[in-house]
Structure 1
Amino acid sequence: MPVGRCLRQLCQCGRAVYGSRGRTGGWRSLSGTRVPDVTPWGTAAPTRRVHRGLGDLYEDVSVQRHLQQLMEQQRHLSRTLERASLSESHRKTLIKKHTELLPVANVFRSIEETLKELEEVLSLLYGSAGTKDEDTQLTQLLKEEEAQISQKILNLKKDLIKALVPTDPLDSSNVLLEVVSGRTTGGDICQQFTREMFDMYQGFASYKNWDFEVYNYTPAEYGGLHHAAVRIAGENVYRHLKHEGGTHRVQRIPEVGLSSRMQRIHTGTMTVIILPQPVEFDVSIDPKDLRIDTFRSRGAGGQSVNTTDSAVRIVHLPTGLTAECQQTRSQLQNRDTAMRVLRARLYQSMMGKETEQRHTARKQQVGTRSQSERIRTYNFSQDRVTDHRTGYVTRDIKEFMRGREALDDLISDVLACAEREALLEVVESSSSSSLKPPECQ
């Protein structure tokens, strides 16, 4: 079946199943563009917003054009590889490209086969003849078969779009996560919130069965936290946490501290920094560029920690980046940990410059580069958490701060919208036509 015909039928099938869509309100995409809320059943958008499925992108004309180009390229590579005159190096290059396109081609062929099945069912459904009873029974069976095949097509369509989403080579990396208290009026509000955020991510690591290793922990008064740095290791840690980086805002009536005496809603902020730690990365550091200071630990750990100059601070003079560790009584262990933190920060700095050069039209302001942007508000007085990049809202803030399913749902929602934008960016770069902003609700 021709590519264009397959695409047209697939989109028609999708429209038939989804039906009409209502439009109300609006939200801001990850790139900051305001687009309308959309619900698949024509009703008002729910308070707890979630993104439309990736499969809906199949209806975008530019995505269809991009897919046709990929299929033509895959067929051309198949024909070229049949030639015996190719050099070994050229053949390896073509085989690599051909292999990269295979997942998309395989799903596309499955869609073609399923569409043929649907054509046969529709032909029987609207062309059958017989007695009234036979017609009724056959029609019922054919309608059930049509519904099953239509659902299968929708699932395949979603799988195909997922296959088109560019992969992030750092997704499987472990991360260095830092929480830093904001410097605003009523600092105890920020410090208490920073400790709660630290506890939330520790709970999320436990929920995901990840390792949670504390590198640095600087407590504050009233049970608060100035700064902490931890290493989180496990399966696809960076994929789940890479969009958590940024400024997080809290609104609450404080229960402890100096600010609690005023009995009014206070606003504070803290910052989350996410640095990937890939298994293999090489950051060359000249020892001459380092200044290493030792000092007595001021963190938790007991008096035995504070009696020696075991804490280490390392400054990379050319960039001004610093790293410190004061978690153990061993100066050598603290120095090794601080060097690992410094390498991660230097690596992130290098990657940020390369990424900034690649992305000029559509930029994902989701924590990996724009750490200063406010991404989320935690309103304790109204029992609400709002992610400002997607408009996602969830209630029961105490449960959310436990760092379990509720946080996992929000992270999945942000990741889905980020994948939509990543795909649209690829499509945009491969086509001269303009694209609509990704529709999320």
Structure 2
Amino acid sequence: MSSNADAGTDRLADALEEHASLEAELADPAVHADAARARRLGRRYAQLAPLVENARALEEARGDLATALELAVEDASFAAEATALEQRVAQLDDRLTELLLPKDPDDDKDVILEIKAGEGGAESALFAGDLLRMYLRYAERRGWSTDVLDAVGAELGGYKDVAVAVKSRTDEGIWSRLKFEAGVHRVQRVPVTESQGRIHTSAVGVLVLPEAEEVDVSVDPNDLRIDVFRSSGPGGQSVNTTDSAVRITHLPSGIVVSSQNEKSQLQNRESALRVLRSRLLAAAREEAAATASDHRRSQVRTVDRSERVRTYNFPENRISDHRVGFKAHNLDAVLDGELDPVLDALTEAHTAELLAAGS
């Protein structure tokens, strides 16, 4: 047996043992007194469920195949059943191999998604608004809840910068689905401000962060500088008369986050802390991955047109994802939240890479 097969067998045994342990824990009423812990355990249990179900189905199919092969020796009518069972065993075995691939530790987490206007001025800000609507519509289709944590509007509409928390109402992990959205998104269209009808190219940066829980990241209050200021809307006009907006600077890392979307200073402070914890977790994960020489796909560093991951071409109603060669001519539907086909293509390509690396 190869080392890869041995590793797969060990991972399966560990997963089955963990699943049984989680099942016992979740059956204990005392566990549910801590809602956060119960939710965390429930998510992990749900994450392991497909693997356990597949392993059990494979074991059953192998048993049925052995019986069919024995019977086929005496009765040729069982030969067709044995052939069908051989195909099912092969399919279940391939699926089990995929399910046993090393998992991203953040796959079961909710996310904080940030959209930042870049090159293109007003047109970039308008497209940032289009992308926000796309993600909100996609979340609605999936049954996820969304909460806009901070939004800095632009004079002609759209956003210079907007952050939204996306949460699952079930045990579905959102990071596993949306992590590939990180990068520079390029738009090609005739801006509303263009009088000559010329097509312009603009860029918007998207960052996707796994939302950190307090147990994931410890933030020392002494490391924070917290400033309050008056919230302002597009063009700098004040939108309220109190100093309710909050800016938090994490002194050791230099990370600065702000929130002005909530009505109270306390709510804005909590929203800003949520973003800060998630950025710190992402930075820690990135550092650990780099140390292990297994760095994740880099997210957007600078928002310019040359680092694009995807292009939205309005004249041709076309969306193109440059990482996997995906193309479709239903841009209007995609911007209305029909993201699954392109996300499926990205997920399948990532799985193929992991399989190739392990072969």
**What TM bracket, shorter-length normalisation?**
0.7 to 0.9
Larger Rg: 1
1:37 corresponds in structure 2 to: none
Structure 1 spans left out of the alignment, 5+ residues:
4-63, 76-98, 129-137, 428-434, 436-441
1:38 corresponds in structure 2 to: none
Specify the SS of the correspondent of 2:311.
Answer: strand
- In 2, the alpha carbon distance for the partners of 1:284 and 1:73 equals 30
| CA distances 1:278-315 after superposition (whole Å, capped 9, x unpaired) | 44534333334322222221127xx8843222211111
Please state how far the C-alpha of 1:150 moved relative to its aligned partner.
4.6
Please state how far the C-alpha of 1:105 moved relative to its aligned partner.
6.7
Aligned length: 317
| CA distances 1:198-232 after superposition (whole Å, capped 9, x unpaired) | 00001011111111111111111322211101111
Q: TM-score scaled by structure 2?
A: 0.76
1:246 corresponds in structure 2 to: 183
Range 409-418 or range 199-208, more displaced: 409-418
- Which 4+ runs in 1 deviate beyond 6 A? 72-75, 101-105, 121-124, 369-372
- 1:420 aligns to 2:352 (yes or no): yes
Q: 2:254 aligns with which of 308, 320, 342?
A: 320
Letter in 1 for 2:350: A
**Pairs within 5 Å for 1:43-82:** 66-67=4-5, 70-71=8-9
Structure 2 spans left out of the alignment, 5+ residues:
14-47
| CA distances 1:71-107 after superposition (whole Å, capped 9, x unpaired) | 49989xxxxxxxxxxxxxxxxxxxxxxx9x9888756
Contact kept, 8 Å, 2:319 with 2:327, in 1: the verdict is yes
1:272 corresponds in structure 2 to: 206
Identity %: 36
Q: TM-score scaled by structure 1?
A: 0.63
- In 1, the alpha carbon distance for the partners of 2:230 and 2:223 equals 24
- 1:209 aligns to 2:209 (yes or no): no
- In 1, the alpha carbon distance for the partners of 2:314 and 2:82 equals 49
- 1:227 aligns to 2:165 (yes or no): no
Contact kept, 8 Å, 1:272 with 1:371, in 2: the verdict is no
1:181 corresponds in structure 2 to: 117
Contact kept, 8 Å, 2:179 with 2:208, in 1: the verdict is yes
**Pairs within 5 Å for 1:43-192:** 66-67=4-5, 70-71=8-9, 109-110=59-60, 112-113=62-63, 116=66, 119=69, 143=80, 145=81, 148-182=84-118, 184=119, 186-192=120-126
- In 2, the alpha carbon distance for the partners of 1:277 and 1:111 equals 40
1:408 corresponds in structure 2 to: 340
Please state how far the C-alpha of 1:119 moved relative to its aligned partner.
4.9
- In 1, the alpha carbon distance for the partners of 2:190 and 2:349 equals 33
Please state how far the C-alpha of 1:69 moved relative to its aligned partner.
5.7
1:345 corresponds in structure 2 to: 279
- In 2, the alpha carbon distance for the partners of 1:388 and 1:224 equals 25
- In 1, the alpha carbon distance for the partners of 2:110 and 2:264 equals 24
- 1:396 aligns to 2:330 (yes or no): yes
- In 2, the alpha carbon distance for the partners of 1:65 and 1:385 equals 42
Structure number with higher relative contact order (C-alpha < 8 Å, ≥ 6 residues apart): 1
